[in-house]
Amino acid sequence: MRTNTHFAFFDEGSKKEIRRATLKAVAIPGYQVPFASREMPIARGWGTGGLQLTLSLIGKTDVLKVIDQGADESVNAVSIKKLVQETTGVQVTDQTEEADLIQSRHRIPEIPLTKDQILVLQVPMPEPLRPVEAREYATKRMHSEDDYSGAWLMLFEQIVKYGKTATAADHPVYVNGRYVMAPSPIPRFDNPKMHQSEALILLGAGREKKIYAVPPYTAVESLAFEDYPFAVESFEGQECRLCGSAHVFLDELIDQKTGETVYQCNDTSYCMEQLNSTEKAEVESSYA
């Protein structure tokens, strides 16, 4: 009855099944491929889709990075990293450039990804049409008939109600001019990073049992109207209080002592790198 855990948790048959679904997803950009999602040692909704992709892809020489809402040290990222490492023994890293497999919840790293990397995004709700239609049978049909009036109408209604589109994270995108896709709850700020990405982007929804993909160099457009263009979150005039970066996604924090609102990089490893490079430059200049 006692069993040892297999390399990367799954038996090889399960990995193959997941890889087959992944290949299909790559072949049809933005199309949600159903797969027999397994129950994982972490809870449904905590990244089981991403984890299944990661475990089906990971090899002994891979270097893994896991981030949760921008942070490598966030508790759930740590928990996932620990699970993968315990079942595979692979090397893990915080450095975005060092990793060849990056599993992320709700952020795309600030440093542009390369063709040698795969980004795995965790997805809670893979169906972009779910807010307009509850039934899977109906939304599947809408996708096949290229009927996205519901998605457009949703944006239009927001304009009528609020004078502008009021989407938060998970703003729907058109992939390769065909499928409307939920980019996972990444902020709108990260949507443009998907467009013509050099890295393969895989999206896994464990509970909803779907895998989909944005292959490298694929057109990804955020849904918007000509007169109401797509806009990312605004951090105008703000910069990171630690590294001074602007034009990155910032966390809004309250300084415990002064009670003031302060900002800092949401991508923690990016911030660290900026800090290190500044420090290095300072040290070098002081020697000079």
Partner 1 sequence: MGYVPVKGGTQAIEASIKRLTYERLKGEEILEINTILATMGSMIDQVMSESSLYSPELAALAIKQGEGSLEEAVFLMRAHRSTLPRHYYSETVEAETMLVERRISASFKDIPGGQLLGATYDYTHRLLDFGLLEESMETNRRWLEDYKDNFSAIQGSKEVVYFPKVVDYLREEGLFETYKPDNTAPTDVTKKSLQFPTTRSARLQVMTRGQTGAVTSFGYASLRGYGQVHPTVGEVRVGKIPIYTIHPNEVNQEPEDQFYIGEIRITEVESFVPVTVKNDNNKDELEFEIGYGACYGQNETKAIAMSILDQCLEHPNTDFPTHDEEFVLLHIDSVESTGFISHLKLPHYVTFQSKLDSIRQVKKEVQEVEN
Residues of span 226-245 touching partner 1 by CB under 8 A: 231, 233-234, 242
Q: How many residues bind partner 1 (CB under 8 A)?
A: 72
Confirm whether 271 is a catalytic residue: yes
Q: Give the residue, chosen from 23, 27, 34, 282, that forms a contact with partner 1 under the rule CB under 8 A.
A: 34
Binding to partner 1 in span 91-150, by CB under 8 A = 105-107, 124, 134-137, 140
Give phi and psi for 161, each to the nearest 5: -75, -45
* DSSP one-letter code for 38: P
Confirm whether 150 is a catalytic residue: no
Q: Give the residue, chosen from 61, 145, 160, 162, that forms a contact with partner 1 under the rule CB under 8 A.
A: 162
Q: Is the dihedral of CA 27, 134, 53, 215 positive or negative?
A: positive
Does residue 278 contact residue 118 with C-beta atoms inside 8 Å?
Answer: no
* CB closer to partner 1, 17 vs 62: 17
Q: Give the residue, chosen from 86, 252, 279, 282, that forms a contact with partner 1 under the rule CB under 8 A.
A: 252
Residues 6+ apart with CB under 8 A from 153: 132
Site string for partner 1, 182-221 (x = CB under 8 A): ---xxxxx-----------------x-xx-----------
Confirm whether 177 is a catalytic residue: no
Q: Does 25 bind partner 1 (CB under 8 A)?
A: no
Interatomic CA distance for residues 60 and 217, integer angstroms? 27
Interatomic CA distance for residues 61 and 39, integer angstroms? 26
Site string for partner 1, 61-100 (x = CB under 8 A): -------xxxx-xxxxxxx--x------------------
Confirm whether 240 is a catalytic residue: yes
- In this structure, the number of other CB atoms found within 10 A of the CB of residue 265 comes to 25
Identify residue 4 by its one-letter amino acid code.
N
Does residue 221 contact residue 36 with C-beta atoms inside 8 Å?
Answer: no
Residue of 49, 70, 204, 271 marked active site: 271
Q: Give the residue, chosen from 117, 268, 270, 274, that forms a contact with partner 1 under the rule CB under 8 A.
A: 268
Confirm whether 244 is a catalytic residue: no
Residue 156's Cβ-count burial label (10 Å; 0-12, 13-18, 19+) is middle
* CB closer to partner 1, 73 vs 157: 73
What does DSSP say about strands 118-122 and 200-205: parallel, antiparallel, or unpaired?
parallel
Residues tagged active-site: 30, 240, 243, 265, 271
